[in-house]
Amino acid sequence: MTIAPSAAAAAYNATAKIATQSGAGAAGESGFGDFLSNAIKDSIGTLKQGETMAAAQAAGQADMVSVVNAVNNAEITLDTVVAIRDKVISAYQSIMQMPI
């Protein structure tokens, strides 16, 4: 059973609306949505930095050590994001298979 990313995003948005309507979270307290949003932004930033450093190396404007570090960080970040995505999908599938 394959779950479309758009379906997962729609489920997350519906849950966020329910949490907002019920008044969950105190003032000044960040929620899971904020955490997730910041983590995604950081991941994208790391991937862009790796891409930028690789392009700079191709143009001869960056040293090899910096490029290797940036690309390695990007690879680790991508592996982490994929692993988290797989766990979320697995959890969703387990929930969907629970008897009512």
What are the tens digits of pLDDT across the range 43-89? 999 999 999 999 998 888 888 998 899 999 999 999 999 999 999 99
97 is a domain residue: yes
Whether pLDDT at 8 is above 70: no
A 10 A CB-CB count for 70 gives: 22
Domain residues for the domain of 43 are: 32-100
Q: Which own/partner contact pairs does 90-96 have at CB distance under 8 Å and 24+ positions apart?
A: 92/3, 92/8, 92/11, 93/1, 93/3, 96/1
pLDDT of residue 82: 92
Rounded CA separation 76/61 (Å): 24
Instruction: Report yes or no on 39 lying in a domain.
Output: yes
How many domains does the chain fold into?
1
Between residues 92 and 19, the one the model is more confident about:
92
This model's pTM is above 0.75: no
Residue 26 lies in a domain: no
Q: Is there a domain that residue 12 lies in?
A: no
pLDDT score for 32: 82
Please give the Cα distance from 100 to 88 (Å, whole number): 21
